[in-house]
């Protein structure tokens, strides 16, 4: 069985995926894949640099994440260009890993953590048995994001605006994990999900 795990920025996807992995789930992490394709020498990074210019690279040729983030989180058109380069590659790698894991470990739960699962359209939605959304109310999302990344309210708002609203995602979810309370409450919901699915 597989699930797509999503939510908004800083709603707690990594927290929830760690709880699932601790129970034996296999994880595919879209943010990690996004970093792999941006490593020096990768053809995707070359395409990105071709469009955005050398200013988004550090002297050693690696990606200057801050510089690229500043461009795409304040300019939706540039964000679309970046996504048109990165998303097809990310999607392909996720699908390949999913197929591999499911063939190798047919009794395990495979979890794909994809921040922009819904934003990417039906390409992903049809791919998973179920979609789990990690939810917290927007004000708390803003607060946790500012604190975790050490950014101000305007920068955090820009990042939130680059994604679909968390309430909208919650409405569409097959499974909602409400992560606004403490870690114990979240763990309880994961345990319930695990039992309901007969995973052990």
Ligand X SMILES: Nc1ncnc2c1ncn2[C@@H]1O[C@H](COP(=O)(O)OP(=O)(O)OP(=O)(O)O)[C@@H](O)[C@H]1O
Task: List residues near ligand X by CB under 6 A.
Answer: 7, 9-15, 31, 115, 144, 148, 179, 182-183, 186
Binding partner at 74 among ligand COD, ligand X, none, C-beta below 5 to 8 Å by kind: none
Answer with the entry of ligand X, ligand COD, none that 28 interacts with (C-beta below 5 to 8 A by kind).
Answer: none
3-state SS, residue 58: coil
What part of residues 115-154 is at the interface with ligand COD (CB under 6 A)?
A: 115-116
Give which of 100, 118, 116 is closest to 108, Cα–Cα.
100
For ligand COD, the nearest residue by Cβ is 115
Contacts of 176 (CB under 8 A, 6+ apart): 132, 133, 135, 170
- The C-alpha atoms of residue 114 and residue 49 are separated, in whole angstroms, by 24
| Closest to ligand COD by CB, 81 or 199 | 81
Q: How far apart are the first and last CA of the chain?
A: 13
Taken in order 179, 97, 42, 122, is the CA torsion positive or negative? Answer: negative
Out of 1, 34, 49, 81, name the contact with ligand COD by CB under 6 A.
34
Q: Is 156 annotated as a binding residue?
A: no
86 is in an annotated binding site: no
CB of 94 to ligand COD, least distance (A): 9
Residue number, 42 or 79, with CB nearest to ligand COD: 79
Q: Which is nearer to ligand X, 47 or 137 (CB)?
A: 137
Contact 21, 129 (CB under 8 A): no
Interface pick for ligand COD out of 9, 45, 109, 190 (rule CB under 6 A): 9
Q: Is 10 annotated as a binding residue?
A: yes
Give me the least distance between CB of 70 and ligand X, in Å please: 17
Q: Supply the minimum distance, in Å, between the C-beta of residue 190 and ligand X.
A: 11
Question: How many Cβ atoms sit within 10 Å of the Cβ of residue 195?
Answer: 10
CB burial class (10 A; 0-12, 13-18, 19+) of residue 15? middle
Separation CA 18–CA 189 (nearest Å): 14
Give me the residues that bind ligand COD (CB under 6 A), please.
Answer: 9, 30-31, 34, 38, 65, 68-69, 72, 79, 82-83, 86, 90, 114-116, 162-163
């Amino acid at each position: 069985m597989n699930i797509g795990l999503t939510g908004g920025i800083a709603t707690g996807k990594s927290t929830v995926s760690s709880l699932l992995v601790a129970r034996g789930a296999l994880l595919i992490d879209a943010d990690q894949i996004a970093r792999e394709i941006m490593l020096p020498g990768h053809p995707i990074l070359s395409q990105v640099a071709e469009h955005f210019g050398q200013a988004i690279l550090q002297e050693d040729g690696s990606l200057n994440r801050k510089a690229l983030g500043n461009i795409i989180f304040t300019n939706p058109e540039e964000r679309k260009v970046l996504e048109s380069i990165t998303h097809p590659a990310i999607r392909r790698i996720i699908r390949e890993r999913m197929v591999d894991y499911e063939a190798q470990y047919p009794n395990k739960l495979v979890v794909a953590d994809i921040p922009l699962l819904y934003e990417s359209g039906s390409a992903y939605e049809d791919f998973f048995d179920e979609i789990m959304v990690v939810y917290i109310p927007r004000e708390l999302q803003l607060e946790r994001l500012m604190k975790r990344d050490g950014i101000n309210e305007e920068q955090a708002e820009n990042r939130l605006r680059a994604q679909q609203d968390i309430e909208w995602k919650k409405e569409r979810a097959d499974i909602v994990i409400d992560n606004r309370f403490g870690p114990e409450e979240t763990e309880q919901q994961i345990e319930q999900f695990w039992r309901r699915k007969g995973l052990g």
